Amino acid sequence: RGDSLGVFQVESRAQMAMLPKLRPRVFYDLVIEVAIVRPGPIQGDMVHPYLRRRQGMESVVYPAPGPAYPQDELFSILSRTLGVPIFQEQAMKISIDAAQFSPTEANELRKAMATFRSRGTIEKLQDKMVGRMTKRGYDPVFAQRCFDQIKGFGEYGFPESHAASFAKLVYVSSWMKCHYPAAFACALLNSQPMGFYAPAQIVRDAREHQVEVRCVDVININDLANALRPVVLPGEMMTVKIIKPGEESGQGIGYLEDGTMVVTEQGHDYIGKEVAIAVTSVLQTSAGRMIFGKIGQQKPNGGGRS
């Protein structure tokens, strides 16, 4: 159904439209899902042939050279993707096996993929690759599509390993959305601004998944305001236990109970001890909140904040 709002890598409209067509059933299908909606496969006109074969509308065939050459030389490269090159490695291997590129020429092709806009060297390699494949008996249309795909990878394309690592995150986030929709929606809202969708769209999607989203209770607005207050403000005093040295000379690192990192100037000499610090700044990053401070005095008996 393309029900993937908020799901890592497959939340765009293009990916949502692809999901019902590809219909992933096993993990490797997610690897292909991640990689196929990219300039490489699209410019090489590889998307529709793959979908037709996956849906049984077209026979799975493997491009082959003339009868004087091994007919299965591309089988090992294309067998997992139904005879259609999808990944960057496949395009590079085709240049070596089908166009007989030497390792040096293949490396030149790899470099040209990344710089073809500024250098223009890709056109010289196009004549070489398409010409050699055609000379060895490959269909000229297939040869040109392979090279168009390589040019598309110069814009943006995925190696198989990259797609696989992303596919794992797709699976995990999809599982969370399916089994824990409330926690999933809450995490998305807590991470705003991000992604393709505004908070209102996330809330609407959560409600469609039977999540109860309540309006703010104005009677208890003070409780909400207190909940939104930063854990500390610059100028406040707090206590923290220094547990390890920091990255810069003299720094000490400690953590609050909620996992917030506290970086203390001149804290290196207090490793293993609780100290009182004066907060100098608070930084919110994608990884979480960080507090910076300077040593005040050794923790007194009682009092303080931890």
Q: In the predicted model, is pLDDT for residue 229 greater than 60? A: no
Q: What is the pLDDT of residue 218?
A: 66
What pTM does this model have? Answer: 0.68
Containing 173, the helix (H) or strand (E) segment is helix 160-179
Q: What is the pLDDT of residue 303?
A: 42
Distance CA 49, CA 57 (A): 9
Residues forming beta bridges with residue 292, ordered by sequence position = 263, 281
Q: What is the pLDDT of residue 114?
A: 67
Distance of CA 198 to the CA centre of its chain: 20
Distance CA 4, CA 21 (A): 14
Q: In the predicted model, is pLDDT for residue 248 greater than 50? A: yes
Please classify residue 34 by burial: count the beta carbons closer than 10 Å to its beta carbon, then call 0-12 exposed, 13-18 middle and 19+ buried. Answer: buried
* Complete domains list, the chain, with CATH: 39-155 (no CATH), 237-298 (2.40.50.140)
Residues 6+ apart with CB under 8 A from 122: 112, 113, 116, 150, 151, 154
Q: Three-class SS of residue 168?
A: helix
Residues 6+ apart with CB under 8 A from 223: none
Average pLDDT, the chain: 86
pLDDT digits (tens, 9 = 90+) for 66-109: 998 999 999 999 999 999 989 888 888 999 999 999 988 888 88
Q: What is the pLDDT of residue 192?
A: 81
Which is more confidently placed, 109 or 286?
109
**Cis before 193 (ω within 30):** yes
Q: In the predicted model, is pLDDT for residue 286 greater than 70? A: no
